[in-house]
Amino acid sequence: MTEFDDALRLTPTDTPGAYGVDLSGDWTIGGGINGGLLLSVMGNALSQTLGAGGHPDPFSISAYYLAPGRPGPATVETALVRKGGSVSVGSASLVQRDADGNPVEAIRVLATFTDLDRTPTDSDVRLTPPELPPLDKCVRASDAPPAVLKEADLLQRSDLRLDPATAMWAVGQPSGRGMIQGWWRFADGREADALSLLFACDVLPPVSMDLGKLGWAPTIEFTVHVLGKPASGWLRIKHFTEHVAAGHFVEDCEVWDSEDRLVAQSRQLARLPRPLG
């Protein structure tokens, strides 16, 4: 079993639509579970619930983050909201227990699922794939300083190669453009599928880094549209922001597959990191 499939493994419970999951410390960033990994867990649970009606694939999923996800056991409760002919809508919630045994909801989700093998394949995309240097000219995230890697177990699950022109913030020279892009695949060679695109849309460092705002950028809202199943091979991912306002920033993400198809697009509203120290 691959690392990603292991992280997403669900166990049945006595409650219909509710699943147990053991959140692994292998996917943390700064002590909390990565938001894209949490979203993939929710997507996997919804795929069980909505897949029974013929709609196993995420099409649109919107997440509201409530509290950091912590390593340890959690329960994902899902519900079918509406079953339609070509899509179904569902809701999901991930709950953990605090030290006193009180429930803490970490994330709440609404989603539309479909069967991506049955959707029309015609497309008219005016966006173009990111232009990236070849893999061997990019910066490996695994070459980050040990202090960074220690805070980001997540990085070791990915083979992430950043375009050096968009990674200068890592050496104290943010470009100010608010754009980070690179090549990505799972470190253990697992091929990407529809579900892992939910993870891919949140796997790059926050673009606030390239604005010179270092630190954790808590997500308020995160919506992913999955436009197709990716072809095998490396994905190219581009994160960018076009506005910072009201103490927050909007981060757009595009994921392109090896056949130059835009396979996922996402937008998140996140809080700007507060100045350090």
Interface with a copy of itself by CB under 8 A: which residues?
A: 59-60, 62, 64, 66-67, 81-82, 87, 89, 91, 105, 108-112, 116, 119-127, 178, 211, 220-221, 223, 225, 227-228, 241-247, 250, 262, 265, 267, 269
Residue 109 or 160 having the CB closest to a copy of itself? 109
Nearest to 205 by CA among 152, 244, 265: 152
Residue 188's identity, in one-letter code, is D
State the nearest-atom distance from the C-beta of 142 to a copy of itself, in Å: 32
Distance CA 160, CA 141 (A): 6
State the nearest-atom distance from the C-beta of 85 to a copy of itself, in Å: 12
Inter-residue contact 157 to 4 (CB < 8 Å): yes
DSSP tag of 18: E
Distance CA 161, CA 187 (A): 11
State the nearest-atom distance from the C-beta of 131 to a copy of itself, in Å: 17
Residue 193 or 221 having the CB closest to a copy of itself? 221
Residue 205 or 228 having the CB closest to a copy of itself? 228
State the nearest-atom distance from the C-beta of 271 to a copy of itself, in Å: 8
Residue 104 or 149 having the CB closest to a copy of itself? 104
Inter-residue contact 183 to 167 (CB < 8 Å): no
Distance CA 252, CA 181 (A): 11
Contacts of 265 (CB under 8 A, 6+ apart): 224, 225, 227, 252, 253, 254, 255
Residue 45 or 87 having the CB closest to a copy of itself? 87
State the nearest-atom distance from the C-beta of 220 to a copy of itself, in Å: 5
Nearest to 2 by CA among 195, 186, 230, 199: 186
Residue 12 or 212 having the CB closest to a copy of itself? 212
- Estimate to the nearest angstrom the gap between the alpha carbon of 35 and the chain centroid: 6
Residue 60 or 258 having the CB closest to a copy of itself? 60
Inter-residue contact 27 to 61 (CB < 8 Å): no
Nearest to 71 by CA among 101, 108, 97, 40: 97
State the nearest-atom distance from the C-beta of 86 to a copy of itself, in Å: 8
State the nearest-atom distance from the C-beta of 157 to a copy of itself, in Å: 28
